């Protein structure tokens, strides 16, 4: 089947904006699950792949359309890969609100006095054509950098103001959106996903 429209299993405004830009050249209409009043799926799993698959199946089941889900996060070497799959709710206590500012504050607190600041962003994309799709398309990528103590830049979201890229000499939040999409973990995973979809005859 050729893809003409997809439900994006995310309510994150920053992710929606990035994916719209990534899909625009492909002629695929992207519909956010939020616009269809689809609630977020539970993310109880220990891996990015399992969480992304659960979100994609959930969105497809409730929309009747193919669905794309992304599960991504920040992994810090000195924290044994944490916050990892808990990145979006790193600072969340019980049912309290999620907040990028609170997550970043907690990250800096737990890294106080730690000299090893190596970190990497992970992006896993899962696309299903239907809820019970037996062969979901899975793509993933890592983006390496390090954590700095002072926020830099006004673009991006999440941990971007504190994620420093040595090769660029700046934090992710200082990159123009087009540049971020070209080199980010999500951009890399997206290119892998597109290659697989074209090979499967689902994209022109």
Q: What is the CATH number of the domain that holds 164?
A: 3.90.950.10
Q: State both tokens at 137.
A: 């398309």
The pLDDT assigned to 67 comes to 98
Residue 178 lies in a domain: yes
Residue 144 lies in a domain: yes
Provide the pLDDT confidence category of residue 16 given band limits of 50, 70 and 90.
Answer: confident
- Give the separation between CA 7 and CA 2, rounded to whole angstroms: 15
Residue 204 lies in a domain: no
Q: State both tokens at 120.
A: 């990497």
| Number of folded domains that form the chain | 1
**For residue 96, is pLDDT > 70?**
no
H-state helical runs in the chain: 13-23, 48-63, 100-110, 177-183, 185-199
**For residue 97, is pLDDT > 90?**
no
State the DSSP H helix or E strand holding residue 1, giving kind and residue range, or none if neither: none
**For residue 94, is pLDDT > 70?**
no
The pLDDT assigned to 95 comes to 61
71 is catalytic: yes
The pLDDT tens digits of the residues spanning 112-162 come to 999 999 999 999 999 999 999 999 999 999 999 999 999 999 998 999 999
The pLDDT assigned to 63 comes to 97
**For residue 93, is pLDDT > 80?**
no
Domain coverage including residue 40: 5-199
- Give the separation between CA 121 and CA 141, rounded to whole angstroms: 8
Query: What's this model's pTM, rounded to 2 decimal places?
Result: 0.92
Q: Comparing 24 with 160, which gets the higher pLDDT?
A: 160
Residue 136 lies in a domain: yes
Sheet strands (E) in the chain: 5-8, 29-32, 67-76, 118-128, 137-147, 163-165, 170-171
Catalytic residue of the set 40, 70, 71, 132:
71
Query: Phi/psi at 127 (nearest 5 deg)?
Result: -120, 130
């Amino acid at each position: 089947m050729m893809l003409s429209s997809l439900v994006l299993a995310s309510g994150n405004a920053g992710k929606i904006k990035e994916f719209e830009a990534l899909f625009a050249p492909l002629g695929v209409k992207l519909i956010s699950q939020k616009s269809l009043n689809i609630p977020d799926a539970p993310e109880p799993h220990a891996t990015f792949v399992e969480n992304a698959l659960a979100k994609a199946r959930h969105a497809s089941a409730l929309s009747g359309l193919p669905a794309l889900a992304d599960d991504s996060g920040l992994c810090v070497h000195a924290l044994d890969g944490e916050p990892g799959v808990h990145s979006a709710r790193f600072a969340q206590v019980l049912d309290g609100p999620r907040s990028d500012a609170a997550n970043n504050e907690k990250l800096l607190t737990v890294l106080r006095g730690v000299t090893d600041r190596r970190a990497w962003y992970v992006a896993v994309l899962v696309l299903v054509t239907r809820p019970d799709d037996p062969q979901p398309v899975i793509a993933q990528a890592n983006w390496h950098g390090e954590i700095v103590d002072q926020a830099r830049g006004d673009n991006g979201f999440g941990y971007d103001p504190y994620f420093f890229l040595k090769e660029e000499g700046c934090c992710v939040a200082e990159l123009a959106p087009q540049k971020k999409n070209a080199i980010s973990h999500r951009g890399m995973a997206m290119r892998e996903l597109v290659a697989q979809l074209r090979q499967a005859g689902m994209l022109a």
